[in-house]
Structure 1
Amino acid sequence: MQTRNYVVAKRAQSWLWVNMDEQQSTLGNPLKPSRFTELDFPDDDRRRVRVRPRDVQPPVTWLSEDDVQKMELLAGGEVVSKARVPAHGQVLQVALEPPVHGKSPLDTHDERCHRGRCSLVKRTDDWFEVFAFHLDRVLGLNRSLPAVLRTFHSEVLPYRYIGGSPRPVLWWDPDIQHLTDRDNDQNSVPLSWVQYQNLLRLRCGDEADLRSAPCVGVQHSEWGRLALFDFLLQVNDRLDRYCCGFTPDPSEVCVENLLRAKCEHITGLLLVHILVRKADPSRLVFIDNAGRPQQTTDNLNFRLVEGIDEFPEEAVAMLQSGCLESRLLRSLYTDRELWESRGGVSGLRPLVRTVEQRGKILLRHIRDRKLQPQRDL
């Protein structure tokens, strides 16, 4: 088997394929990432979503046609209605229609959302969730929802949402399954830390029936996907909402709300944002992925990978290959507003390399524990 590494021929501004043996790309000797400058990303393309025929080669194959369509809706759709999200004061649900379609007077806001025409507009500080979407696709995980960065000017929206800094806009999936409990509606299934560790040991779907307790219907391999993703982004508000696995800043919500004080009582620890689709309940959906871009390497949260005995083969291969920087920068470039507002190559490269460094640490964790990447069949 071979892995492919993209390198850029700067003078010709064209892409060359360079084939490299997989044996060269081992856990202990990852390939060096390609160097990029602003010249490799033309700034004369003013489209909101820079994917399709005008792109330089190679094409961004990790973004599906459905991803691109949703990104274009999120980035350029006309705002036609809005609604508050209960218990989430910082999030606004906004319905969008492609400009050519226009607003249908017969459609209610809920009907638009049911047809997949709604988005969630979040705080400006959550922009890293758009970065997370591209990381998810480059790694081949394909569990997060399409997202873009966008500045709004619509009179339909409250004043604080108009102009100013761009906000992350995520596609709202009408098929996600929520619990009926309003205090726990950010889960598809109620799950404690103890139950989670037990189902990891049972390998649900491989060695135990998905429907037998403590299994909750989610395939065993899904947890490895989630753990890898959360570790690279340092997302704690899912597997470790109480901040038990790292030292949080005193201003953190988990400290201010005294959640961290509960870490000593392991039976009371609960997971959050464990979501699936109604049509495919054995696979997870990743939401609220903003994570911690500035988390230092000496304070990484290894609780996120506790109990995980396998990681997805494709994602591990990408971390090994040395291609992550080139592909992730190429993917981020497709979102023009994200690219320009975060400083292009010079602004985004440090974040990409932070994730790369975390990837090397995770690869060392995999090697030291002799864990085997698993192919997702």
Structure 2
Amino acid sequence: MDTHTTRPGNVGLGDTMICLSVSFLKVCNCCGRYSAIRKYLIIAVVCFIYLFFTVHVNHTSTRQDKRPDPWTRNSVYSQKPRRTYQDPTEGEVNESLSPTRSNVVYITLKSKRHKPAIIRGTVRPKLRRKKVKVRAQSGTQDKTKDASHDTNIVDKQLGYSELDGSIGDYSSIRIYSERAPPWFSIDDITAMRFLADSKITQIDEVAPPGFSSLILFKSATNHTDDADACRKCCGIVRRPLDMSEVFAFHLDRILGLNRTLPAVSRRFHSLGEGQPCPVVLWDPSLSPAVDQPSERLSWGSYQTSLKYKCWHRGIKPKPEWRCTIIHHHEWSKLVVFDFLLQIYERLDKNCCGFKPRPEDTCVELGYHEDCTDKDSIELTRIVHRRHDPHHLVFFNNKGYFDRDEENLDFRLLEGIKELPDQSVSVLRSQRLREKLLQSLFLDQQYWDSQGGRQGIEKLIDVIERRAKVLLTYINAHGIKVVPMNS
């Protein structure tokens, strides 16, 4: 009994080949009786039939070998049925081949998606800004706003009609999740959207009492020319070089200080040669904390007020303490903010605490030469609200990111014995970078103007290094970290 076992897919294949060979030999023996032409013709026909039959048999056996092997145990494919998939674009049924024992790849044809998927945390594509036609005051001509029209506005006559704002439902303030970051209030988000997307009807140069001249834009909802009555419908346009105002706003909210005015980045075709400019919400209630020349706040009087903790715990200060109306804790909050951003104009306008550059304001105006009598140096830009005189408002927050750790202004920290616990806890949490990235991403104009994430990361690197220096200073000088709730 023959012990050889033949698989079902190969039954009779060897016998068939033997029969073909025998038949071919018989045909060759018979060809001896024919002429040469007939011999060659018969041989050619036989060869063609032989080749066709051989190729057909090999192809059939190959397909049969790919079928599951019922004699092979532990086969992962032995119980899998064959499936058919239909291509929705062609309407034809394509039979999938059974997988081989190696390099198995499953391909699933899915139907086309009729509606786009809702993907959170993605960046919306930029929309092209359309040219807006502005109707002249006479109402008889329509002129397209172009560069030549914009350049004529950077004169003393800044009043004009610019229908510049959002495009449909598009906003440069990107909030893709259900809620904004927790350090922003509803009023902050409302103000940011107003500054970024509102329709601008006029830009004027104004000089509020106690302030230098400001470029103020007015929205379509404003029906007054009075800067004092322009509440929540006007914004201050800063220079493109002052873009750090936007970073300062986000840092202020993350540190829990809440002392800066909302600021965003916005592109004006009529100002700054089309570059993005920082715009800050205008508050007509702002007033200098010392608005009388006889009540000058010098460095010496400031240090004395820190010593006696003016207005702390509701204690009314004595005249010899030389206190202002500002609460003691407000100076501690200001110091944390100014040190991280290295803002020197408020507490050290003469640049006596560091080595300034030739382009710094204190050098250009010659203030740096007057550092001999430090106690008589006047503090500037100390601002509060008229209805809330005890709390500071951080105004004109131009920061400097190009100052290394060897040239920081430690004079800002002199006389400070306490710092706010909420701000210090954020610096110690090692989550400052994460929060700044999450916060600054909301302002698309600012994000793009700084070179995207790569540029933002470089700015955060500077703040993180200064935060480490500040924490080291706190430990070395025994600075107390206390609650400073308003």
The one-letter code matched in structure 1 to 2:439 is: S
Matched with 1:5 is: none
CA distance, structure 1, for counterparts of residue 205 and residue 309 of structure 2: 39
Q: CA offset at residue 59 of structure 1?
A: 4.1
Aligned in 2, Cα 1:162/1:193: closer, same or farther, shift over 3 Å?
A: closer
1:261 paired to 2:382? no
Q: CA offset at residue 81 of structure 1?
A: 2.2
Q: CA offset at residue 316 of structure 1?
A: 0.0
CA distance, structure 2, for counterparts of residue 264 and residue 40 of structure 1: 58
Q: CA offset at residue 205 of structure 1?
A: 1.5
Aligned in 2, Cα 1:180/1:285: closer, same or farther, shift over 3 Å?
A: closer
Is the Cα contact below 8 Å between 1:151 and 1:163 reproduced in 2?
no
Matches within 5 A, 1:333-348: 333-348=441-456
Matched with 2:200 is: 79
Matched with 1:44 is: 124
The one-letter code matched in structure 1 to 2:232 is: G
CA distance, structure 2, for counterparts of residue 112 and residue 309 of structure 1: 38
Matched with 1:349 is: 457
Q: CA offset at residue 251 of structure 1?
A: 2.4
RMSD: 2.4
Matched with 2:240 is: 124
1:235 paired to 2:343? yes
Aligned in 2, Cα 1:224/1:40: closer, same or farther, shift over 3 Å?
A: farther
For 1:234-266, what per-residue CA distance to the aligned partner results, in whole angstroms no more than 9, with x for missing partners? 000100000000000122221122111111012
What fraction of aligned residue pairs are identical, expressed as a percent? 37
CA distance, structure 1, for counterparts of residue 296 and residue 177 of structure 2: 44
Match of 2:309 among 203, 210, 214: 203
CA distance, structure 1, for counterparts of residue 120 and residue 370 of structure 2: 50
Q: Which runs of 5+ in 2 are unaligned?
A: 1-118, 127-170
Matches within 5 A, 1:76-225: 76-86=197-207, 88=212, 91-97=214-220, 107-110=223-226, 113-153=229-269, 159=270, 161=271, 164-178=274-288, 190-206=296-312, 208-210=315-317, 212=319, 213-225=321-333
Is the Cα contact below 8 Å between 2:121 and 2:177 reproduced in 1?
no
Which entry has the higher C-alpha Rg, 1 or 2? 2
Aligned in 2, Cα 1:41/1:209: closer, same or farther, shift over 3 Å?
A: same
The one-letter code matched in structure 1 to 2:429 is: S
For 1:15-43, what per-residue CA distance to the aligned partner results, in whole angstroms no more than 9, with x for missing partners? xxxxxxxxxxxxxxxxxxxxxxxx99622
CA distance, structure 1, for counterparts of residue 451 and residue 206 of structure 2: 32
The one-letter code matched in structure 1 to 2:172 is: R
Matched with 2:74 is: none
Q: Figure out how many residues of one structure are paired with residues of the other and give that number.
A: 317
Q: CA offset at residue 177 of structure 1?
A: 1.6
For 1:175-210, what per-residue CA distance to the aligned partner results, in whole angstroms no more than 9, with x for missing partners? 11237969x7xxxx7311110000000111227525
Specify the SS of the correspondent of 1:80: strand
Matched with 2:182 is: 61
The one-letter code matched in structure 1 to 2:215 is: L
Q: CA offset at residue 82 of structure 1?
A: 2.5
Specify the SS of the correspondent of 1:264: coil
Q: CA offset at residue 63 of structure 1?
A: 0.8
Aligned in 2, Cα 1:45/1:269: closer, same or farther, shift over 3 Å?
A: same
Is the Cα contact below 8 Å between 1:209 and 1:215 reproduced in 2?
no
CA distance, structure 1, for counterparts of residue 330 and residue 289 of structure 2: 20
Specify the SS of the correspondent of 1:109: coil
The one-letter code matched in structure 1 to 2:196 is: A
TM-score (norm 2): 0.62
Specify the SS of the correspondent of 2:437: helix
Aligned in 2, Cα 1:85/1:180: closer, same or farther, shift over 3 Å?
A: farther
Specify the SS of the correspondent of 2:384: strand
Match of 1:323 among 431, 455, 472: 431
The one-letter code matched in structure 1 to 2:345 is: D
Specify the SS of the correspondent of 1:177: strand
Aligned in 2, Cα 1:41/1:131: closer, same or farther, shift over 3 Å?
A: farther
Comparing 64-73 and 76-85, the one that deviates more? 76-85
Is the Cα contact below 8 Å between 2:418 and 2:482 reproduced in 1?
yes
Matched with 1:3 is: none
CA distance, structure 1, for counterparts of residue 455 and residue 317 of structure 2: 44
Is the Cα contact below 8 Å between 2:120 and 2:177 reproduced in 1?
no
The one-letter code matched in structure 2 to 1:257 is: L
Is the Cα contact below 8 Å between 1:176 and 1:275 reproduced in 2?
yes
TM-score (norm 1): 0.79
The one-letter code matched in structure 2 to 1:48 is: S
For 1:53-102, what per-residue CA distance to the aligned partner results, in whole angstroms no more than 9, with x for missing partners? x327x84010110001111111011112222133746x4111124xxx5x
Specify the SS of the correspondent of 1:140: coil
Aligned in 2, Cα 1:352/1:109: closer, same or farther, shift over 3 Å?
A: same
The one-letter code matched in structure 2 to 1:96 is: S
CA distance, structure 1, for counterparts of residue 289 and residue 183 of structure 2: 32
Is the Cα contact below 8 Å between 1:116 and 1:174 reproduced in 2?
no
Is the Cα contact below 8 Å between 1:74 and 1:96 reproduced in 2?
no
